[in-house]
Chains A and B, each alone.
Chain A
Amino acid sequence: MTSGSPLQISGAALRRGDRELWSGLDLDVAPGEFIAVLGPSGSGKTTLLRAILGLERLSSGSIRALGNEVRRAGNRRIGYVPQQRPLPPETSLRGRDLVGLGVDGHRFGLPFPRRGDRERVRELVRAVGAEGFADRPVGELSGGEQQRLRVGQALADDPGLLLCDEPLTSLDLANQQAVVRLIDQHRARSGAAVVFVTHDINPVLEHVDRILYIAHGRFMLGAPDEVLNSRVLSDLYDAPVYVLRAGGRLVVVGAPDADDAHHHHHDEEPE
């Protein structure tokens, strides 16, 4: 396991055209730390993850991931769990093949399996509790089953840093809990840090150490209680925002454009 900080962001700024998504971002993540990233859509949460992966260039500042300056596009030592997207029913892939993409999907050369690949896929399938549906075509699997497999794929190289981009969207409560449990298990077992982008804090609230809340080009970083309160969010949004507690759940009321966070905006995607 890497000693030292799995993720250090200093003085980071990102501009899109003439719009500044955020600037002056400093974040030092400790091993085993669980960070949730919140904020309305278009606030640059996904872009932040893409910058950590080297898929997006910062306008200024620097990022060190797992001890190395981020320079090249993509990083196999970082685990990445994307949002659930429906796969067409004809996709020629079984459950275990989706996990297998994490093991050998990056390798060029004649596609002969290496020794140990099958066993590694089997381990990963077992680790995410997917034995029951690993041999069915992915197009037939439920969103929750697909997300478990995507977590398995992300864990292929035993990452010291896990980046999750809205992995719970369109999952039911039981599946949300199952996916969060898998991610937290990996964190607890390997000491990996987790950066978790989400529009709903509740499924991860009990695991979260710190929250990064981005809105309107500004951000707030701190423990859940320090960030998720009416005063801080009203200040961040420059508008009256109320954080309510009901039955152990947090509800943010009045945050402008926070509601359409359910529709993930795909204009931030690469081609």
Chain B
Amino acid sequence: MNWADVGTALFGGVADYGEILALVWNSVIAGAVLGLVGGLIGVFVMQRDMAFAVHGISELSFAGAAAALLIGVDVVTGSIVGSLIAAGLIGVLGARARDRNSIIGVLMPFGLGLGILFLSLYNGRSANRFSLLTGQIVSVQTGQLGWLIALSAVALLALLLIWRPLRFDSLDPQSAAARGVPTTAVSLVFMLLLGLVVAVAVHIIGALLVMALLVTPAAAAMRVASGPVAVPVLAAAFGFVSAVGGILLAVAGTLPVSPYITTISFVIYLVCRIIGARRGRVTRTA
């Protein structure tokens, strides 16, 4: 690969940018909604210490999608089924943090192994195979994109509706229960929403990279803010910028979308860490 190839890979599409953008416009919208809801739900993923669970759910979501591919049913439905099964299992069996991690550790390789088995049995278009693991939003069909957008929007609205009880339960479950918050129901609804968002993210960024939109933006926001409004707003903004920015940059060339999204979200995290560390040093010496 020489510099000309690199140039083509990065900027080969610039001449026709307008036309390409029109073609992938629905992908941009899907990325935007997922970025927002991923950043917001990430705040709770961090507060409830569930980053590992996100990864576990995404592997089972991948297995579900691969199974759907194999038996010839809708892939999005397959990933949702896999996601919800994983989220339900983790929610019911792994209420305590320690149980949870061991259950996820057991589920994850099993899910990934199943997915790989289904994919190797499947002999259709091979582009589909890789895209489930590493994502390729631009290859998702329009009808499915509509679904992904609708699912993200529903998850976003539901998350906002249970926002305050969920926050109370995440930060102080005993006091929340004492004050009449239905903590079990709230936790289960949260797992359900997390399952849905992960299923959407699997199609946009790939099962292996889901955390770049569901964990990194919130982790970055928590480095620089501590208010109940500032953290979620920043997390949603970071998720939005990563997802939309990644897609917009990717369509200018021939490279896949995912590395752009993961790189942007990582750089945002890095910058926030540096800002947070500097501020910490200042307040400590002050």
Please tell me if the beta carbons of A269 and B47 are within 8 angstroms of each other in the complex: no
Task: Give which listed residue, B95, B179, B182, B184, contacts A105 with CB less than 8 A.
Answer: B179
Majority SS of interface residues in chain B? helix
- Please name all residues of chain A whose beta carbon is closer than 8 Å to the beta carbon of B171 when the two chains form the complex: 87, 91, 93, 98, 101
Please tell me if the beta carbons of B160 and A55 are within 8 angstroms of each other in the complex: no
B2 at the interface (CB under 8 A from A): no
> Given A55-B177, A82-B175, A270-B177 in contact, is the A92-B227 Cβ separation under 8 Å?
yes
A62 at the interface (CB under 8 A from B): no
CA distance A90 to B181 in the complex (A): 24
Binds B, one of A24-32, A70-78, A182-190, A238-246: A70-78
Output the nearest chain B residue to A271 by Cβ-Cβ distance.
B95
Q: Which of B163-188 contact A (CB under 8 A)?
A: 163-165, 167-168, 171-184
Q: Which of B16-38 contact A (CB under 8 A)?
A: none
How many chain A residues sit at the interface, stated as a range, is 35 or more
Please tell me if the beta carbons of A92 and B176 are within 8 angstroms of each other in the complex: no
> Given A94-B227, A271-B95 in contact, is the A110-B160 Cβ separation under 8 Å?
yes
- Please name all residues of chain A whose beta carbon is closer than 8 Å to the beta carbon of B173 when the two chains form the complex: 270
Q: Which of B86-138 contact A (CB under 8 A)?
A: 95-96
> Given A111-B163, A271-B95 in contact, is the A106-B228 Cβ separation under 8 Å?
no
Please tell me if the beta carbons of A53 and B178 are within 8 angstroms of each other in the complex: yes
Task: Give which listed residue, A92, A105, A109, contacts B225 with CB less than 8 A.
Answer: A92
CA distance A53 to B175 in the complex (A): 11
- Please name all residues of chain B whose beta carbon is closer than 8 Å to the beta carbon of A163 when the two chains form the complex: 178
Please tell me if the beta carbons of A153 and B175 are within 8 angstroms of each other in the complex: yes
Q: How far is the CB of A133 from the nearest CB of chain B, in Å?
A: 13
- Convert B213-225 into 0s and 1s, putting 1 for each residue whose CB lies closer than 8 angstroms to a CB of A: 0000000011101
CA distance A162 to B161 in the complex (A): 30
Output the nearest chain B residue to A270 by Cβ-Cβ distance.
B177
Task: Give which listed residue, A74, A94, A101, contacts B177 with CB less than 8 A.
Answer: A74
Please tell me if the beta carbons of B222 and A92 are within 8 angstroms of each other in the complex: yes
Please tell me if the beta carbons of A73 and B180 are within 8 angstroms of each other in the complex: yes
Please tell me if the beta carbons of A106 and B179 are within 8 angstroms of each other in the complex: yes
CA distance A245 to B277 in the complex (A): 51
Known: A75-B178, A101-B167, A271-B95. 6 other contacts (CB 8 A): A90-B46, A97-B228, A98-B172, A101-B172, A105-B164, A105-B168
Q: List 14 A-B contacts (CB under 8 A).
A: A53-B177, A76-B180, A78-B178, A91-B171, A92-B231, A93-B171, A101-B172, A102-B175, A105-B165, A105-B176, A106-B179, A110-B160, A163-B178, A270-B174
Going nearest first, the 7 A-B pairs with the smallest beta carbon separation are A74-B180, A105-B168, A271-B95, A80-B178, A137-B226, A92-B231, A111-B163
